Chains A and B, each alone.
Chain A
Amino acid sequence: MDLTIASILALDGLTNGAIYALLAVATVLLFAVTRVIFIPQGEFVAFGALTLALLQLGKVPGTVWFLLILAGVAAAADVLHGVRHQHAASRIARTVLRTLAYPVAISLVAIWVAPMGLPLLAQAALTLALVTPFGALIYRLAYESLADASVLVLLIVSVGVHFALLGLGLFFFGAEGFRNPSFWDERFAVGPLTVTGQALIIFCASVALIVMLRLYFERTLVGKALLATAVNRLGARLMGISSVTAGRLSFTMAAFIGALSGLLIGPTTTVFYDSGFLIGLKGFVAAVFAGLSSYPLALVGAVGVGLLESFGSFWASAFKEVIVFVSILPVLLWRSLRDPHGEGH
């Protein structure tokens, strides 16, 4: 290996690492606020990439029907809850309306504009608008009533959600894989390296999102409320911060981050309905590196995973997944030596 190849591999690793960083940040955020170890984070990535791909073909993406069904189930749960607690019909209707309004509206928009062949950026925005509401809906249906369950139970629920989303992904998107067009086709020669516009977009988007998250947590009241819930749920609740709202909000953010990652990764690789899982898990390795608690360490971990993957695929391409996932063992060893009394929940 010479320096050229090394720098190409490094660039490749950094590009992927930037995407893993986004996913790792989402994982850490969800764990901190809700104690949910969210295995299906990668599913949002696949949903994002595939939704854009189908919009590109001028078709109404399966995401729309999926979203409508989820919203319908959530609305049914609202009705059931209302009837059981003997709420007035008008109050039930208001709740149902609140649950259904956005998903139905955005679905109608999607059905209307899908055949128009909008510009790529508009379709990307529509994709984000379609996938983001999945977060809160999944939280509502799978996790909300279990908010006080143990981390272990929540983790097993996550695995169930992953299975369900995987199967439904196959149903709504089919088994076909798609590769999206680049957002920016420009190429820049930097010495021996060729930097693609897409890679630049990935870097910029990742950095921008992480900076925005930081500002959000430090400067806004809602962000501070989320942070408070992460530090102490009961304390936050006593201060009037609803842990339900915090949960829905953090899941919404995670879905948005996942969908964005899907848009970013779509042009660099072919995405199938089940591709998200592995991509998400690599973000996960980075999050574990950060002990599921530190954003900066998650970033470092993500870059590490990206580099390990790109160099691993150069040396032993068949074993690149093995190399990436085996690296979690020394990471865990390091963590257990660093903090031997890390007895959490």
Chain B
Amino acid sequence: MASLRRWAFPAFALLMLVLPALPVPDFWITQSNYIGLYAMVSLGLVLLTGVSGLTSFGQAAFVGIGAYTAAFLVTKMGVSPWLTLPVGLLLAVAAALVVGVITLRMSGHYLPLATIAWALVLYYTMGNMDALGKYDGLLGIPTLKLAGIDLGTGRGLHPLIWSIALVAALAVTHLLDSRPGRAIRSLKSGSMMAEAMGISTFRYKLTVFVVAAILAAISGWLFAHFQRTVNPTPFSLAKGIEYLFMAVLGGVGHVWGAFLGSAVVRLTTDELQVLLPKLIGTSGNFEVIVFGIVLVVVLKYAPDGLWTFVGRWLPATRRVRDWEGAAPLPARDKPARGELLLDVQAVRKTFGGLVAVNDVSFQIRAGDIVGLIGPNGAGKSTTFNLVTGVLELSGGAVAFRGEPVAGLPSRAIARRGMSRTFQHVKMIPDMTVLENVALGGYLRTRAGTLRAMLRLDREEERRLFAEAERQLQRIGMAHQMDELAGNLALGPQRLMEIARALCTDPALLLLDEPAAGLRHREKQALGQVLRQLKDEGMSILLVEHDMEFVMGLTDRIVVMEFGTKLMEGTPAEVQASPAVRAAYLGTEH
């Protein structure tokens, strides 16, 4: 079975490349050309919609940029067709950057809204510019010639279109299984965790949008030389929506879903365009009714698209454990025991008139385990978020290893060696435990998008996975590394978060209520892990609710009540304090 997966791609690629040499009718070659062109665009949408949780209705407009650039430069300026491709790509990237930079800092729905406007703008611009032939477009685009051979518009062009489409599919597959790929896959589950691991979510959103635009523009360039004429219609908003439809129908979370969706849509559109007007008795684009209804039905009843029905027959891939003996990742200089690590000076947070954290100060020295406790609503988690840069300070200062970190974004604080877990476990459920932990090693590795696509990142990946496995071993979870994180129980999920935090090679570990919601056994296992980390000399700040849990573990405890620091002392002092008892249990009158 495993060989099926290994041979499926080369066999499919070979078939598509030699298809024109086989006795296949011209009609099917043309259809196959269209499918390849559409699949490139849909592939970008898979990356954008299925993987990153963004979307665009304007991909057809990027196709239009590629096509019109080629057509204009070739027919009006006499530029070689091979030079128009980079120009088209440059324009598409520039447009994607403008739209992306403006919208991607805001919530996810502003990008699709902006792309609607962008698609309309480009359509009306193309349709009204004299230089672009208005709505008639540009005619007489020459065919592509490669090494003196005319590729024509059918059998000759087919291998080129499909090589590009297949290389793109391979590159995207490689990308998704890499350092930047894991960052991209984290985008869907909100930015907080990814930022805490040092990932700039904005940058990756922008990267994905640009990659999608590039794929669309290449498709457009090929389209111009395939059709030999361009006009605004194939680049309209409706077509952009159709591309999205292809991706959703095929399976918006799967690379091959883009190909399947493009094939199904292309082949059925032709049938529908003949059948429906006959059925209805007048001519018109009635196939949009079917598209619209099918789109809604697919999203309701088969959100993973048609590819799931194919993918079910393919065996699941297991990561081959090839990192034995890989060189360790670079490690940071660890603070010496007793060195002042974290200095929190009178931090303050107000929400409107409410003072959530009122001038709280405390210090952590290297090797300490400090507990931050207090009743519900005491401001523990808010303090925690102030220290880690998730919330902005209203006043006060935070210094980490002698350096002020107040006002820095959480990813910059992570870079300085502070790593955290979350009160509500934040992970990527459809990645394995090992991959989730590897996300913690993001800042210790360098591979970028291009290197990942070209598979030049393997050596570094081996080092990263070796480190991730080492951290899982450290907390006793190595045997679960190939499981999907979403399938774990809460206890192991919390331990996995600790392993992920450890994978960042932290100087200070911050745990936000790690014992919350755990069963007794799971609590014991967690306590075991923390004691072991303590013995290894790790410095930890622990926000916790469970007194018993904290008492046995910590060196010192900071108690908060109503946003104010109540007291600080050893566990024994805190236990003996009448003020703490009053805070938790109330006072006798």
Listed stretches A160-168, A225-233, A239-247; interface member: A160-168
Asked whether, in the complex, the Cβ of A160 is within 8 Å of the Cβ of B293, the reply is yes
Instruction: Mark out the residues of chain A between 321 and 338 whose CB falls within 8 Å of any chain B CB in the assembled complex.
Output: 321-322, 325-326, 328-329, 332-333, 335-336
Asked whether, in the complex, the Cβ of B120 is within 8 Å of the Cβ of A281, the reply is yes
Asked whether, in the complex, the Cβ of B291 is within 8 Å of the Cβ of A145, the reply is no
In the bound complex, CA of A175 to CA of B53 (Å): 37
Asked whether, in the complex, the Cβ of A153 is within 8 Å of the Cβ of B299, the reply is yes
A326 / chain B contacts, CB cutoff of 8 Å = 117, 121
B499 / chain A contacts, CB cutoff of 8 Å = none
In the bound complex, CA of A325 to CA of B114 (Å): 9
Given the known inter-chain contacts A160-B296, A332-B110, please indicate yes or no for A150 contacting B53, CB distance below 8 A.
yes
B154 / chain A contacts, CB cutoff of 8 Å = none
Asked whether, in the complex, the Cβ of B106 is within 8 Å of the Cβ of A171, the reply is no
Q: Whole-angstrom distance from the CB of B140 to the nearest CB of chain A?
A: 24
B315 / chain A contacts, CB cutoff of 8 Å = none
- The interface bits of chain B over 105-141 (1 if a CB of A lies within 8 angstroms of the residue's CB, else 0) are 1111110111011101100110010000000000000
- The interface bits of chain B over 84-104 (1 if a CB of A lies within 8 angstroms of the residue's CB, else 0) are 000000000000001100110
A333 / chain B contacts, CB cutoff of 8 Å = 102
A339 / chain B contacts, CB cutoff of 8 Å = 106
In the bound complex, CA of A39 to CA of B293 (Å): 15
Q: CB of A93 within 8 A of chain B?
A: no
- From B103, B121, B280, give the contact of A336 (CB < 8 A): B103
Asked whether, in the complex, the Cβ of B295 is within 8 Å of the Cβ of A319, the reply is no
Given the known inter-chain contacts A146-B299, A156-B248, please indicate yes or no for A322 contacting B55, CB distance below 8 A.
no
Q: How many residues of B contact A (CB 8 A)?
A: 51
Q: Whole-angstrom distance from the CB of A44 to the nearest CB of chain B?
A: 16
Q: Whole-angstrom distance from the CB of B63 to the nearest CB of chain A?
A: 18
- The interface bits of chain A over 153-183 (1 if a CB of B lies within 8 angstroms of the residue's CB, else 0) are 1011101111111111011001100000000
Asked whether, in the complex, the Cβ of B109 is within 8 Å of the Cβ of A153, the reply is no
In the bound complex, CA of A174 to CA of B284 (Å): 9
Q: Whole-angstrom distance from the CB of A195 to the nearest CB of chain B?
A: 30
Asked whether, in the complex, the Cβ of B289 is within 8 Å of the Cβ of A329, the reply is no
Count CB-based A-B contacts (< 8 Å): 152
- The interface bits of chain B over 491-524 (1 if a CB of A lies within 8 angstroms of the residue's CB, else 0) are 0000000000000000000000000000000000
Q: CB of A191 within 8 A of chain B?
A: no
> Closest residue to A273 on the B side, CB-wise?
B284
Given the known inter-chain contacts A160-B299, A161-B292, A326-B121, please indicate yes or no for A342 contacting B107, CB distance below 8 A.
yes
Q: CB of A47 within 8 A of chain B?
A: no
Asked whether, in the complex, the Cβ of B295 is within 8 Å of the Cβ of A156, the reply is yes
> Closest residue to A345 on the B side, CB-wise?
B107
Asked whether, in the complex, the Cβ of A325 is within 8 Å of the Cβ of B292, the reply is no
> Closest residue to B108 on the A side, CB-wise?
A152
A2 / chain B contacts, CB cutoff of 8 Å = none
Chain B CB within 10 Å, residue with most, of A157, A167, A344: A167
Asked whether, in the complex, the Cβ of B114 is within 8 Å of the Cβ of A343, the reply is no
Given the known inter-chain contacts A163-B292, A342-B107, please indicate yes or no for A171 contacting B280, CB distance below 8 A.
yes
> Closest residue to A141 on the B side, CB-wise?
B296
Asked whether, in the complex, the Cβ of A344 is within 8 Å of the Cβ of B124, the reply is no
Asked whether, in the complex, the Cβ of A288 is within 8 Å of the Cβ of B296, the reply is no
> Closest residue to A329 on the B side, CB-wise?
B102
- From A37, A146, A165, give the contact of B113 (CB < 8 A): A37
B57 / chain A contacts, CB cutoff of 8 Å = 159
B109 / chain A contacts, CB cutoff of 8 Å = 37, 151-152, 155, 292, 344-345
Instruction: Mark out the residues of chain A between 295 and 341 whose CB falls within 8 Å of any chain B CB in the assembled complex.
Output: 318-319, 321-322, 325-326, 328-329, 332-333, 335-336, 339-340
- From B110, B114, B289, give the contact of A167 (CB < 8 A): B289
> Closest residue to A142 on the B side, CB-wise?
B296
Asked whether, in the complex, the Cβ of A325 is within 8 Å of the Cβ of B288, the reply is no
Asked whether, in the complex, the Cβ of B117 is within 8 Å of the Cβ of A162, the reply is no
Asked whether, in the complex, the Cβ of A152 is within 8 Å of the Cβ of B53, the reply is yes
Asked whether, in the complex, the Cβ of B49 is within 8 Å of the Cβ of A166, the reply is no
Asked whether, in the complex, the Cβ of B296 is within 8 Å of the Cβ of A164, the reply is yes
Asked whether, in the complex, the Cβ of B103 is within 8 Å of the Cβ of A332, the reply is yes
Other 6 A-B pairs with CB < 8 A, given A336-B105, A340-B105? A146-B299, A163-B241, A281-B120, A328-B113, A342-B107, A344-B108
Show 20 A/B contacts (Cβ-Cβ < 8 Å), sorted by A.
A39-B116, A142-B296, A151-B108, A152-B55, A160-B293, A163-B289, A166-B288, A166-B292, A167-B285, A167-B292, A170-B284, A170-B286, A171-B284, A174-B282, A175-B284, A288-B113, A322-B125, A332-B106, A342-B106, A343-B191
**A-B complex: 7 closest residue pairs judged by Cβ atoms:** A164-B292, A163-B292, A160-B295, A167-B289, A344-B107, A318-B128, A167-B288
